[in-house]
């Protein structure tokens, strides 16, 4: 007989993080983590143990915990995620919080908000949840990602519009009062990518400079921003200065940068001129 405590100790010996192992086992047994820890002398059935070991093997091989549990919390929302979408990161909440501040300052009755490259729908859904009056549009070039975003929207009861297409192609001829994006921005030769091999590569890297998606987004910004509207972008820790220049080169003004909770420059924005 293997008890819960023994199974968790074995998981640690395999190099799986303690909290990850507890969350995986709690999900398998259909219990809360607190119950698991309070009853760790209970034996596991052979079936549960075999399933736990299979998941530990995947986790030890680098698969994100969120793909194994099928869920990830983002800005207070429980999102379903799978290998068709990037796992939402806490850093991206910085972008959502900035967007919510802009929306409060705009004080429009039904602001048009756009999330370019939405993936799981994290940004679009968090904005809609916190600012229900917003009319939120989310795009993605990946049909699989839009399926994930759509099912998250239905399950959470949040009404957002989904459009297929690469960057602005998905919303040709339309303007928005606020545009957000967390596009791929990791350079294709960045060694960091090796540790992210289970997530969609197209969601992580746009090409050799890491700036290719920003160029596409900045290039179409003036055509799609309402007068005075802000474009807010998430980026890598060393890309803020390049982003401020790029946005200015494409006619946007008032560039500003925000830091994430770790103190890294994480989001840069600028706005269209007032007329």
175 binds ligand GLN per the rule CB under 6 A = no
Q: Does 217 bind ligand GLN (CB under 6 A)?
A: no
| Residue 44 interacting with ligand GLN (CB under 6 A) | no
Instruction: Work out how close the CB of 26 gets to ligand GLN at its nearest, in angstroms, rounded to a whole number.
Output: 26
Q: Least CB distance from residue 89 to ligand GLN, whole Å?
A: 5
Is residue 89 involved in binding ligand GLN (CB under 6 A)?
A: yes
Pick between residue 26 and residue 126 the one whose CB is nearest to ligand GLN. Answer: 126
Q: Give a three-class secondary structure readout of the chain.
A: CCEHHHHHHHHHHCCCCHHHHHHHHHHHHCCCHHHHHHCCCCECCHHHHHHHHHHHHHHHCCCCHHHHHCEEEECCEEEECCCCCCCCCHHHHHHHHHHHHHHHHHCCCCCEEEEECCCCCHHHHHHHHHCCCCEEEEEECCHHHHHHHHHHHHHHCCCCEEEECCHHHHHCCCCEEEEEECCCCCECCCHHHHHHCCCCHHHHCCECCCCHHHHHHHHHHHHHEEEEEEEEEECCCCCHHHHHHHHHHCCCEEEEEEECCCCCEEEEEEECCCC
With respect to ligand GLN, which residue has the nearer C-beta, 2 or 166? 166
Find the shortest distance in angstroms from Cβ 110 to ligand GLN: 29
Q: Per CB under 6 A, which of residues 111..130 are in contact with ligand GLN?
A: none
Selected from 204, 246, 267, 270, the binder of ligand GLN by CB under 6 A is: 204
What's the closest the beta carbon of residue 184 comes to ligand GLN, in angstroms? 5
Among 184, 231, 244, 267, binds ligand GLN (CB under 6 A): 184
Of 140-148, 156-164, 180-188, 250-258, the window that binds ligand GLN (rule: CB under 6 A) is: 180-188
Complex with ligand GLN: residue 29 or 114, whichever CB lies closer: 114
Rule CB under 6 A: is residue 182 a binding residue for ligand GLN? yes
Residue closer to ligand GLN, measured from CB, 140 or 177? 140
**CB-CB neighbours of 209 under 10 Å:** 13
Q: What does the alpha-carbon distance between residue 65 and residue 270 come to, in Å, rounded to a whole number? A: 35
Q: According to CB under 6 A, which residues from 65 to 84 bind ligand GLN? A: none
Residues at the site binding ligand GLN, with contacts judged by CB under 6 A: 89, 91, 182, 184-186, 196, 204
């Amino acid at each position: 007989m293997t008890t819960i405590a023994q199974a968790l100790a074995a998981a640690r010996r395999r190099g799986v993080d303690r909290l990850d192992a507890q969350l995986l086992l709690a999900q398998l047994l259909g219990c809360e983590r607190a119950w698991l820890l309070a009853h760790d002398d209970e034996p596991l059935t052979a079936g549960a143990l075999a399933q736990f070991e299979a998941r530990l093997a995947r986790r030890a091989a680098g698969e994100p915990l969120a793909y194994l549990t099928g869920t990830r919390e983002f800005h207070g929302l429980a999102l379903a995620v799978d290998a068709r979408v990037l796992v939402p990161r806490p850093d991206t909440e910085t972008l959502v919080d900035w967007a919510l501040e802009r929306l409060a300052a705009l004080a429009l009755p039904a602001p048009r908000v756009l999330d370019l490259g939405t993936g799981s729908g994290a940004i679009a859904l968090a904005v809609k949840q916190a600012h229900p009056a917003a009319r939120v549009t989310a795009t993605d070039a990946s049909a699989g990602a839009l399926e994930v975003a759509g099912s998250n929207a239905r399950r959470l009861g949040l009404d957002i519009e989904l459009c297929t297409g690469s960057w602005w192609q998905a919303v040709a001829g339309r303007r928005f009062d606020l545009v957000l994006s967390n596009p791929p921005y990791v350079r294709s030769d960045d060694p960091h990518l090796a540790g992210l091999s289970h997530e969609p590569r197209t969601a992580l890297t746009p090409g050799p400079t890491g700036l290719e998606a920003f160029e596409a987004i900045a290039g179409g910004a003036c055509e799609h921003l309402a007068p005075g509207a802000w474009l807010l972008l998430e980026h890598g820790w060393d890309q803020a200065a390049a982003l401020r220049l790029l946005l200015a080169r494409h006619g946007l003004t008032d560039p500003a940068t925000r830091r994430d909770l770790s103190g890294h420059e994480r989001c840069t924005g600028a706005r269209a001129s007032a007329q």
